[in-house]
Each structure stands twice: as structure tokens, then as C-alpha cells.
Chain A
């Protein structure tokens, strides 16, 4: 059953072992398609990609799975890794966890029940909407903000795994600000498992597989390397793009609707920017989307420049989860469609009730990961920094990317780390060659005059 998975893992290992690291990422390179251009290195927000020997390589420990390189690659050489439904055929009981953004993908369908029933038609035994768990997390957040006066301000959403990883590698002081509750995907998986075991006492936990239908590869990485919990209750991550076509076909042939949607406006709104924040009924929030914008906001929070805010919602993708790379529809069209879909729904249909959300708080805070640190020894790090500054001054400073590093500064860092040489810079190389030519000509001229 796992043969395809193993294959994928091996591919990942092959292309991503630039730095040995325990993290398994969900973006891989198709070497045959990669032309060695520099589009992806320019778009990577953590400068994790280098082009070496004509192909892109991702530095494992720096990658935050944002998917920007997948968007940037015009040759479609960067691919998201996700699971396939067929790989889970052996499980006795299969539960689908559709992301709220899935609802916005279908042009002709305005019936949530039909979409969810299509999943059952395709072979799932049950469906648990992540939007339901999102409503529970919203309720938890409202209570969390009320009960704690001494919270580090502002509280930052924990829903987007890219953001949590970004904070752990770049903003260690803000780790305390993160809402310490599991993201809706994790809450959904746990509640769904619990409900399934209650409904079917004959099942054991190992018989159940919970598959998230995801808008982004970052969720696949989250499941492999969970944040805040030891092990994720999600068994696998399927792509919205792949399920979309199957679901559309199933809806055409389906005779009856077997599942009823159980989420309200709040849960569905989580699919787009400010959906999570506006559900707090507190206007003191900020919602930012798009990884570059998010980084600017985090820099401001880190500097203490954003005051009087209770909550900050950050989404790595433009438009929020509807902007994830595994979706089929344009994010803004999907968002508009969701506005229509949620129109006559109740505000919220899911309350914590006896689902005590305290039991869905994180086991532990994510650890800071200072991946950019040059050396554990301060003096050595300072020596390296001196060299980096000196080398950067000698480089042309136009950040052309021809050397395979995104900026001249990044090349200087690579040189000091022993991963590149000054001759990788085409301008340095040209100057060197010109000088050599000049000295050759001089020698020749001397030879002629004598």
C-alpha cells in the first residue's frame, strides 16, 4: 500500500538532502523539467533555493512549504507532494476532511450537501468538515482572548502551518504569541475519529484513516512534521485539485445526497483572509495574506510597532486558503462563490459543548529553530559575518541571480560557508577574464617590441 509513498519519500530525500534534516517537505523538483532558471530562487521568502549544476535545490531546513516556488516555476518543475486516495484502500473506515476552500471550487454547484455526498460516492465512509472544527476553534479563541489579560499581545493565529514554521525560524520571541490551540485540521481529525469510534464500537483507531482534502502542500508537511503536537491524527493529505475532477464526475452520476453539511458562515469564511479574525467579534484585529506581506507584518510586530491589537491572522497564500496552490479555481472567484454559498446559513453551527477544546490545546510550544545561524561559536559567526560583509562589497550588488543564489549577499554567505566561489558571479568572472586577456595582450605586445 505504501509503495507510492515510499517512492515519493525517496525522491524527496534525493532532491532535498542538501542539508541533512529530519523535516520532510512537500515540495519536490522534477529534474527533467527544471531548466536551471532563476525564477524560483527569486521568489523564495526564506532564500532556501539555490541553482547548482543547472538544477534548483531546496535547503531543507530553511523551506517553510509556502509553495511560492511552485507558483513561480514556469516549467512546472516544482511539484507538490500529496497522497492518493487509492493508497488508503486497506483501511476499514475512511473519513474525508474537506477544507472550507474546497467548497469554492465548483462553478455549477451551489449545494454543499451535494459536494460532501460526492465524497461518500467516491468511497469515503464519512465526512467531517474542517469548517466545523474551525467554528470550534473560533469559539475557543474568543474565550481565550477574554480569559487572559496577561497574554502576549497580539495573539497570532496558529492555523497556517507556514506561518508557525516561519515564526519558529525567524521570530523566536513571537512563539509565545501564537494561539496555543491545534489548527482546525487537527481538531477536525480528532473529533472525527472520536465520533467514528462512538458510532461504530466495532472499529478500533487503527481501522480508521482520516484524509484531509487540502488546498496547499504545507498541510501535507504539517501532517508529517506536526507543530505543537507529537503526532497528527490526520492519516494523509489529498489534493483539492485531484479530488475536484473526481467529485465533479461523481456529482453528475450521483442519485441521492447522503451527507448534510453542518457548518455555518463562520466555518466557511475561514477559507479566505479575515474569515478567522472576523469570527472573533472583536474589531481589534489585523488580517494579512501573501507571504511577503506577512513577513512585513511580523517584522513590525517583532519590533513592537503594532499596538492595540488583540489578534493577528496571517495567511501565507494570497487571499487566504483559497489561494493555496492545490486549488483549481482563482482565489478571488472562489471567495466570491463562498459568499454566495454561505448566504443563508446560520452564523455558526458548531459549539464546543462537551467537546472540551482544552484537550485540543498544544502539547508543547513549537521550538525556535535558528536556521540562519552561521555558527554555534559566536566568534566564528562574527568572523564569517565580517567576511560576508567584505565579500558583499566586492560583488556588483545587482542581485541578478545568475550565480544561482537569489542575491549578491546570499552568494557572499554561500562563499563564506564554502558552498560557492566568487567565480560563480558572472561579473566577477568577466572582470577576471578581461584582466587575464589584458595581461596576455601586454605580454604579446612586449614580445613584439623586443
Chain B
């Protein structure tokens, strides 16, 4: 199968394989942009992979006071889980431990309730109110119900429930095959910045980049996943290596989105930005990870992403 070329960089004619996930979005607000970001960063910490962390989470956008329900600075975060039950468990733990505790914070649903993709509602404030030990009060404002839990800086205000999103997808990805670590990392950073500019998509790994791409299963009994040896440069030359001789480093980005369209848009933005900058940064090729197409029902073919969005 002939490879594709974008901005002079080879793009393998393959696809990223992604999965249906349960997802929700929150708007976290605080007195200052810094404290909103602290709450969001804390809540989305240790959320790189749903297998090991229980959830995948990240910051989707920083919001100005004009964009938030309470007129304060805010941050929109996305949270993904295997299913609605697992997502709810992680939602309560993360809001309860990381946002309730953050000074001046408040929590709102990050998806409009009249959005056509709204799914099952997850009780959030209605569960966290029990921290108020019977002193919490509910307040309905403009058709939405909030819980006001007394805390030591005043009140923690949290929306009673937040909606899940139907059609959320996790696992969109791109792999950057480069020559030198520093330059390839720069390519990945450029790709991350482009993907993060796309609404409704997050990149849950550190800085949006993962250097330890994995394959399903392992030689060690009981391991669910293990290193993606085909793309490890120190294993070049062995049977099964997918790397040409000139590639000495591979970095990956992983994208979760509230819809297949948002994942595709983020992958497209990352593919174009990375190949555009990659010529001067020693980028050899861009490819994507899949499991043969048998595990996830969403296949993002790089061939389809090379063209500009329709």
C-alpha cells in the first residue's frame, strides 16, 4: 500500500482505532483564573488511561467570566470512563476530593441540557451534598437545581446533576517517528497545541504526549498491556520492529472527544500542524495505532484526514 505525503512528510496509510466511552463535561469556576485552573488541574490529575486510572480527563478550554454561569473565571474539563457507572464513581471522587476542597470553587454542567447528544444524568451535587451533614440546601435558579454545601470559606455550589454525552470516543491517536528526541518532542508539542484548540477534545497524557505507547497483552501472565515493542527504537532490527533505520525516537498523542467528529477534527489539526513543522525538525513519518480493527468501532483513517475539513 503506497504511503501518503503531507507537507513533504510520509504519512502511513493506516488508521487509529478508537472506542466508545461514557463522558461528561464540567465547568469549574473560582475567584481567579489561577484558582479555577488549580481546581481543574487537580481534578484531571492521574487520569491518563481509563485502564489504570479509572478515568481519562483533561482541560478542554479556559473560559472568560462572560462564558461561565456565575460570571467568574472558569475552566471546562472533560471526563471519560468505560461506562456511566464507572464515570459516576470517578466524577464523585474527583469533584469531592479535588474541587470541593479547592478555595472558592463552584461546579456546573459543561454541556447544555438541551444538547441533542445529552444522555443519562449523573447525580453530582445531589450526592456531594451529604458532606454538608444535613446543612446543605438546594436552590433552583433559572431552571437548574444547585446544592449549596456549607464549607469553611462560605459555600460550595454544585449543580445537582450533570449529563453524560452520547457518542463520546476515546483513543484517537497519532505516532510521530523522528530522528532526535528534542526535535520530535517539539513536533509532538506543536501537534498537541493544534489538537487542543479543537473544542470538545482533550489529550489526557502528560502534556498531551505519551512516550510509552502500549500493545494489548504481554508475555508476562496477567498483564493487560505492555510496551509497544514494534515502535521502541532500542528494539530496532529485531523481527516485528516497525521502525526504519533512520528513526531513533517515537512519540504518540492520544485524543478523547465528545464525538467522533471532534476526535477526527483534533487528529486532522494535529496531523497538519505536525507535518507542516516536521520538515525542519527531522520528522520521518506519521502513523497511527490500531489493533487490527477488531476492538474499536471507530476507525480514523489518516488518508481521510489529509484533506482539509469539508
Our verdict on whether A and B bind, yes or no, reads no
Task: Give the interface of A toward B (CB within 8 A).
Answer: none
